[in-house]
Amino acid sequence: MATPSSPKNSVSMMLLTIVITTMTMNVMIVGARWCVARSSASPSALQANLNFACAHGADCRAIQPGGSCYEPNTILNHASYAYDSYYQHMLKAPSACNFGGTATIAVTDPSFGRCVYPPRYSQRNDEGANTPILMSGEDKHNVTI
């Protein structure tokens, strides 16, 4: 029988620690996607589309002063957050990530620092419910930058 300090128990504990650590690390989910603003878009187009997104279902509190995604305070970053929030709200409908050609689909999570993009959801399953995609890791109104 192994004792608490035996090499067999030490190896078992080390393997358990590795498994738990690996399970809690960020993982890339195949098929995960985000809607982000194109860097080539004009600031005025980004602002107009950001306002649309925030007024039509996007949760834009995080890009307000003091919010977790307010910094860097750029129209490109704020529009990307609003676009993705709207895209998630619309259940990732392909037409929900256009914004007059100022948006594109990204396969890399745009979250950074304390700015975590909203939880990811797949499109509706056969029963009509949203199926969450597990990822490790707001008021509707016009936003003026």
User: Alpha-carbon distance 81 to 53, whole Å?
Assistant: 10
Q: Determine the pLDDT at residue 32.
A: 85
Tell me, what DSSP letter sits at residue 66? T
Residue 22 banded pLDDT, cuts 50, 70, 90: very low
| Under 8 Å between Cβ of 114 and 80 | no
Instruction: Tell me the pTM.
Output: 0.65
Is the pLDDT reported for residue 142 higher than 60? no
Is the pLDDT reported for residue 133 higher than 60? no
Closest CA to 118 of 141, 71, 84: 84
- Model confidence pLDDT, tens digit, residues 67-121: 999 999 999 999 999 999 999 999 989 899 999 999 999 999 999 999 999 766 5
User: Alpha-carbon distance 128 to 126, whole Å?
Assistant: 5
Q: Determine the pLDDT at residue 103.
A: 98
User: Alpha-carbon distance 98 to 49, whole Å?
Assistant: 10
